[in-house]
């Protein structure tokens, strides 16, 4: 089966080569330190690990870029890292993957966000976060806004993803200024929000929280049922004017609503190894599918298949496009 020109009657192609997606948000490294458990420590009731290896993987907004590239779109990153060794490692990792990094700013005012997971085989024993989550300084904000304005004007962007992890980059002013610039250019906006500025994103083509975030933002119980989710979507749309709303539901799949169409798409049976990074994959896939003009149901199915695929693998990983094509082809032959 061909990799790039798979298409179906009345549906657009899965060739995303023409899509140039700007990702604005929080960059981080996902660090995995692997060891072999040999005994229980005499100092405390914890295992002693013999060090085996350490791996650094792209996380946060950088993982969105990695997924977009894996789907053969062109990602363009705008974010900040610390002026430190971990910031250098993150940029080196982007270079190794051939991802554009020239718009990433280095800050002396903060450290690069690193999430270190201590692993015994596939078992995560602990996680240590090294980060600073204060808002951008006045100077950082001015430089960052100038950079994003330049990208939007010059880089022939076809879509904009806000990837928010509450690390201080996506302040209310940054969100509003960048959104206004994108709207004026007719560039669709795709949002993966967090609680702090949940209601600041206006007029998005896609708004993609998870169920926990929806419950926290609304402040009332929201169940993974069609009626409850439809009511939540109505409220979100009334406050954000989002065109499409996608709510990820963990083991229940995802919910997609565009005002006229709403559906829960259940997950297929999978062995879940690690949920880390699945949200990054979902918004990457959904953004491309919407840019490409897919139907609401196909957007939901592609996003669900993409997110389900990566949770089968250990650690933060990018989507495998050929596997996605195979699974989507199977789905289309069943409908």
What are the pLDDT digits (tens) for 277-323? 688 999 999 999 999 999 999 999 999 998 888 766 655 567 788 88
Instruction: Point out the catalytic residue in the list 274, 280, 298, 326.
Output: 280
- In whole angstroms, what is the distance from residue 38 CA to residue 295 CA? 53
Tokens of 278: 């699945």
pLDDT at 250: 86
Domain topology for 20-29+57-116+131-334: 3.40.1190
pLDDT at 325: 79
Strand 206-207 to strand 47-60: parallel, antiparallel, or no bridges (unpaired)?
Answer: unpaired
Give the residue from 191, 112, 190, 119 showing the smallest Cα distance to 158: 190
- In whole angstroms, what is the distance from residue 117 CA to residue 278 CA? 17
Given a cut of 50, the residues of the chain with pLDDT beneath it are: 1-10, 271, 273
Check: CB of residue 43 under 8 Å from CB of residue 328: no
Domain boundaries, the chain: 20-29+57-116+131-334
Measured from the Cβ of residue 215, the count of other Cβ atoms closer than 10 Å reads 15
Would you mind telling me the total number of residues written for the chain in this entry?
335
Strand 105-107 to strand 80-82: parallel, antiparallel, or no bridges (unpaired)?
Answer: parallel
Active site residue 280: yes
Query: Is pTM beyond 0.85 here?
Result: yes
pLDDT at 205: 98
Helix or strand (DSSP H, E) at 154? helix 138-154
Check: CB of residue 274 under 8 Å from CB of residue 311: yes
């Amino acid at each position: 089966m061909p990799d790039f020109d798979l298409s179906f009657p009345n549906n657009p192609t899965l060739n995303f080569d023409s899509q140039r997606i700007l990702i604005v948000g929080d960059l981080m490294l996902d660090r995995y330190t692997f060891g072999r458990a040999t005994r229980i420590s005499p100092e405390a009731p914890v295992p002693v690990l013999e060090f085996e290896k350490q791996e650094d993987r792209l996380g946060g907004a950088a993982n969105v870029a990695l997924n977009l590239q894996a789907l053969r779109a062109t990602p363009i990153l705008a974010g900040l890292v610390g002026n430190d060794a971990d910031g250098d490692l993150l940029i080196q990792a982007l270079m190794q993957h051939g991802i554009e990094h020239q718009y990433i700013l280095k800050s002396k005012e903060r450290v690069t966000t690193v999430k270190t997971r201590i692993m015994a085989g596939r078992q995560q024993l602990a996680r240590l976060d090294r980060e600073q989550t204060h808002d951008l300084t006045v100077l950082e904000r001015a430089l960052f806004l100038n950079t994003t304005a330049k990208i939007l004007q010059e880089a022939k962007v076809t879509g904009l993803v806000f990837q928010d992890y509450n690390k201080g980059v996506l302040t209310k002013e940054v969100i509003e200024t960048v959104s206004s610039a994108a709207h004026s250019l007719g560039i669709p906006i795709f949002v993966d929000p967090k609680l702090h500025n949940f209601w600041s994103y206006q007029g998005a083509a896609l708004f993609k929280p998870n169920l926990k975030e929806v419950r926290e933002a609304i402040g009332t119980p929201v169940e993974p049922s069609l009626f409850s989710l439809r009511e939540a979507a109505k409220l979100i749309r009334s406050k954000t004017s989002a065109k499409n709303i996608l709510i990820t539901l963990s083991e229940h799949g995802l919910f997609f609503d565009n005002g006229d169409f709403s559906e829960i798409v259940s997950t297929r049976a999978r062995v879940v190894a690690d949920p880390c990074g699945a949200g990054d994959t979902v918004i990457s896939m959904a953004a491309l599918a919407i840019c490409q003009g897919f139907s609401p149901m196909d957007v939901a199915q592609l996003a669900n298949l993409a997110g389900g695929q990566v949770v089968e693998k250990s650690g933060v990983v990018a989507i495998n496009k050929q596997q996605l094509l195979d699974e989507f082809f199977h789905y289309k032959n069943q409908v």
